């Protein structure tokens, strides 16, 4: 019997039966036509039936299988074809493109679902004893190819699914700390905390399917990080089970105990062991939460306003601005107005645009911004007033809470867009970076130039758009989305776009990734961002702590597959 763990559809994002629908968004097809020169076709694919016959029989050695069953139980170990395909990839667009076409790549021979730390330890011991590779699996949502397997790996591969290591085990209300299982998925954790009046506040766009252990292992950041922090701030302690023993780190507010082991495990992508349990800081549910929308005339003034909000240290839960292209995209995904209320709002919006044009605004350049405030009603009102004032000083129009509420409601729908686009032969994916405030505009310009050059090389129209989110005292994250119609060689075309954008980050003062991790996707740039000596230290760490290369090898440094290979 298969353990009761929720997984995404084997061929794409999210749940079966949920889709991106453009037919109820009248501006979307014309927008895509203008942006990519493509005529959209109504979606035909409801699901892709899984055919086990397309998967080669597992060649798991009998001794390994027996040892895994002995380490856990017979119903926690499977060589089922569907299970192996689900666990053989993450959610990067290239992986989904291949998998959805039945090109599965290297698959794990076996999937195991341990329930306890002792079982994890026994699985790791068995794997090392039998010289197998172990790849911890959370929700499979990473887009850095952190789960992709080396096609040349000859040893058996065990996917260790953390799904049964789940639960809210303890809540220390005095400290605001919760002890949770590493395999717990976002909605289950948030629901368990909300029931008791608390929240983690960590809301990556992949929240619905990713796990706490996966967040820690990839150094994730959620859209509300301005208030709640990145996962590196949120995780205060943890248990990491390794083949040679278990590391237990107590939850403390801060400590001075040499180089931080906690920091070392955060972002380790399965290379240093399995994070089975975490202590995370939690917050009481806010009395009030409101999201206010603003429209700025153009990008530079919007960035200046956000920088001022940060400079004046006005507490916000999130601040986000979309550049002109992303604002155009957002407006194109508005649903048709079917109710009287919506029709009145739509007429109001048209009037607003006319007013902006009268003011001399170029409506292709205007930038929508959302700012979220949480706290007591008084606090929210005071902070909102302060942000309104800054926004107006920078020439913005305050649009109010209507569009903000809409943003809050549809934030988890957008991931379904990628599958829809793939069906239309369009590849869409993202690259994100973080940089000091002084570098952000330069990076924005450089990425647009790099993408444009790449599209020219491909000889076709492509799209790029950007938003700024996750503000810090010294800078912020820039998040770019790119899309283009694929030709004969999707891997090479994707690699051209992706390498051009990543290189523009690194050359212009940004980092490789603000929150998606490294995996195999970003590994080729590691020397450029942490220096050759930094990579050498990492290599010594992995070699010393995992001499047999049994733990998810080829991730973070020394990738088994390089994006640049596709360009050759
Ligand atoms: C549509 C979409 C939106 C996204 N939005 C965001 C976002 O807003 N913010 C963000 O940070 N990321 C985002 N991501 C990326 C992704 O969701 C994160 O990287 C997430 O943290 C991965 O968690 P997971 O549980 O799915 O891990 P997986 O994808 O299963 O695994 C990722 C890596 O972590 C390792 N790992 C997983 N669990 C453990 C464990 N318990 N112990 C040790 N190693 C482990 C795996 O071996 C692998 O190397 C998005 C992805 C998609 C597809």
Look up the CATH number of the domain holding residue 472. Answer: 3.30.300.330
Same domain (yes/no): 305, 374: yes
Same domain (yes/no): 56, 197: yes
Quick check: is 547 in a domain?
A: no
CB of 554 closer than 8 Å to CB of 562? no
Same domain (yes/no): 251, 294: no
Quick check: is 543 in a domain?
A: no
522: number of Cβ within 10 Å: 24
Task: Decide which of 411, 441, 468 is a domain's last residue.
Answer: 411
Same domain (yes/no): 153, 275: yes
CA distance 273 to 165: 14
Same domain (yes/no): 398, 467: no
Of the candidates 526, 431, 511, 448, which has an alpha carbon nearest to the alpha carbon of residue 474? 511
Q: What is the pTM of this model?
A: 0.97
CA distance 288 to 24: 32
Count of structural domains, the chain = 3
Quick check: is 421 in a domain?
A: yes
Quick check: is 45 in a domain?
A: no
Q: Residue 351's domain is classified under what CATH number? A: 3.30.70.3450
pLDDT above 90: residue 341:
no
pLDDT tens by residue, 8-59: 999 999 999 998 988 999 999 999 999 999 999 998 888 999 999 999 999 9
Atom of ligand 1 nearest to the CA of 414: 1
Quick check: is 456 in a domain?
A: yes
Q: Distances in Å between the alpha carbon of 208 and those of 14, 51, 93, 150, 529?
A: 8, 27, 18, 28, 31
CB of 272 closer than 8 Å to CB of 265? yes
Same domain (yes/no): 112, 245: yes
Quick check: is 564 in a domain?
A: no
CB of 481 closer than 8 Å to CB of 429? yes
Q: Given its phi and psi angles, is residue 105 left (phi above 0), alpha (psi -120 to 50 degrees) or beta?
A: left
Same domain (yes/no): 298, 155: no
408 labelled as ligand-binding? no
Query: pLDDT-derived band of residue 406, with 50, 70 and 90 as boundaries?
Result: low
430 labelled as ligand-binding? no
Mutate to test the pocket of ligand 1, among 141, 157, 234, 242 (most ligand atoms within 8 A of CB): 141
3-state SS, 465-520, equals EEEEEEECCCEEEEEEEEEEECCCCHHHHHHHHHHHHHHHHHHCCCCCCCCCCCCC
Same domain (yes/no): 217, 328: no
Query: pLDDT-derived band of residue 348, with 50, 70 and 90 as boundaries?
Result: confident
The pLDDT of residue 305: 97
- The b-or-e profile of 285-322 (16+ CB within 10 A means b, else e) is ebeeebbbbbbbbbbebbbbbbbebbeeebebbbbbbb
Average pLDDT of the chain?
A: 95
CA distance 390 to 339: 34
Same domain (yes/no): 307, 202: no
Task: Decide which of 285, 304, 330 is a domain's last residue.
Answer: 285
Task: Decide which of 285, 315, 342 is a domain's last residue.
Answer: 285
Over residues 86-101, mean pLDDT: 96
Q: Which runs of E-coded beta strand occur in 168-268?
A: 168-172, 177-181, 198-199, 235-242, 245-249
pLDDT above 90: residue 354:
no
Query: pLDDT-derived band of residue 1, with 50, 70 and 90 as boundaries?
Result: low
Same domain (yes/no): 263, 293: no
Same domain (yes/no): 130, 113: yes
CB of 483 closer than 8 Å to CB of 463? yes
Q: For 412, which DSSP code?
A: T
205 labelled as ligand-binding? yes
Atom of ligand 1 nearest to the CA of 213: 41
Atom of ligand 1 nearest to the CA of 137: 30
CB of 210 closer than 8 Å to CB of 201? no
Range of the domain at 420: 416-516
pLDDT above 90: residue 335:
no
Same domain (yes/no): 254, 386: no
Quick check: is 244 in a domain?
A: yes
Query: pLDDT-derived band of residue 499, with 50, 70 and 90 as boundaries?
Result: very high
Quick check: is 76 in a domain?
A: yes
pLDDT above 90: residue 414:
no
CA distance 102 to 81: 12
Q: Distances in Å between the alpha carbon of 13 and those of 86, 247, 518?
A: 11, 34, 20
pLDDT above 70: residue 405:
no
Q: Which runs of E-coded beta strand occur in 128-287?
A: 133-137, 157-161, 168-172, 177-181, 198-199, 235-242, 245-249, 274-281, 283-284
CA distance 78 to 1: 9
pLDDT tens by residue, 373-399: 999 999 999 999 999 999 999 999 999
Q: What number of residues does the chain have?
A: 568
* Residues within 6 Å of ligand 1 by CB: 90-91, 135-143, 146-147, 162, 182, 204-206, 210-211, 213-215, 217-218, 220-222, 269-270, 274-275, 415, 515-517, 552, 555
């Amino acid at each position: 019997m298969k353990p009761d763990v929720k997984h995404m559809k084997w061929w794409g994002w999210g749940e079966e039966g949920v889709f991106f629908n453009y037919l109820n968004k009248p501006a979307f097809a014309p927008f895509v036509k203008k942006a990519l020169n493509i005529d959209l076709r109504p979606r035909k694919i409801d699901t892709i039936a899984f055919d086990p016959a397309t998967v080669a029989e597992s060649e798991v050695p009998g001794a390994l299988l027996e040892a895994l069953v002995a380490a856990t139980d017979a119903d926690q170990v499977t060589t089922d074809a569907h299970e192996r395909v689900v666990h053989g990839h993450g959610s990067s667009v290239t992986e989904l493109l291949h998998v959805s076409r039945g090109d599965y790549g290297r698959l794990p021979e076996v999937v195991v679902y341990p329930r306890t730390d002792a079982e994890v330890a026994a699985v790791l011991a068995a794997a090392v004893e039998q010289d197998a590779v172990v790849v911890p699996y959370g929700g499979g949502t990473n887009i850095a190819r952190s789960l992709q397997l080396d096609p040349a790996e000859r040893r058996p591969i065990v996917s260790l699914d953390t799904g049964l290591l789940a639960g809210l085990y303890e809540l220390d209300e005095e400290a605001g700390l919760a002890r949770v299982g590493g395999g717990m998925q976002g909605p289950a954790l948030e629901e368990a905390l909300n029931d008791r009046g608390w929240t983690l506040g960590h809301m990556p766009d992949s929240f619905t399917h990713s796990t706490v252990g996966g967040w820690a292992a990839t150094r994730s950041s959620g859209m509300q990080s301005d208030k709640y922090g990145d996962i590196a701030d949120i995780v205060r302690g943890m248990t990491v089970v390794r083949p040679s023993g278990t590391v237990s780190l107590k939850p403390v507010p801060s400590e001075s105990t040499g180089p931080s082991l906690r920091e070392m495990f955060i972002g380790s992508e399965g290379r240093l062991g399995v994070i089975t349990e975490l202590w995370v800081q939690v917050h009481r549910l806010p009395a009030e939460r409101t999201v206010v929308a603003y429209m700025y005339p153009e990008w530079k003034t919007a960035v200046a306003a956000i920088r001022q909000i940060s400079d004046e240290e006005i507490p916000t839960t999130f601040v986000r601005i979309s550049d002109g292209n992303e604002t155009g995209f957002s407006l194109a995904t508005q649903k048709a107005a079917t109710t009287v209320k919506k029709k009145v709002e739509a007429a109001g919006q048209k009037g607003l645009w006319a007013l902006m044009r009268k003011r001399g605004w170029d409506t292709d350049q205007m930038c929508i911004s959302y700012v979220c405030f949480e706290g007591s009603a008084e606090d929210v009102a005071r902070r909102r007033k302060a942000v309104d004032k800054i926004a107006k000083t920078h020439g913005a129009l305050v649009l109010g809470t209507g569009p903000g509420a809409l943003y809050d409601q549809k934030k988890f729908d957008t991931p379904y867009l990628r599958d829809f686009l793939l069906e239309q032969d369009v590849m869409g994916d993202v690259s994100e970076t973080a940089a000091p405030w002084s570098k952000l505009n330069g990076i924005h310009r450089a990425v647009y130039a790099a993408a444009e050059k790449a599209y020219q090389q491909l000889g076709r129209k492509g799209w790029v758009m950007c938003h700024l989110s996750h503000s810090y005292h010294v800078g912020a994250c820039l998040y770019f989305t790119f899309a283009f119609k694929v030709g004969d060689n999707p891997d090479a075309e994707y690699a051209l776009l992706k390498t051009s954008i990543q290189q523009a980050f690194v050359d212009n003062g940004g980092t490789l990734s603000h929150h998606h991790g490294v995996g195999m996707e970003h590994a080729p740039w590691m020397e450029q961002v942490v220096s050759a000596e930094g990579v050498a230290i990492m290599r010594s760490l992995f070699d010393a702590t995992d001499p047999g290369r049994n733990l998810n090898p080829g991730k973070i440094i020394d990738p088994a597959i390089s994006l640049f290979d596709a360009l050759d």
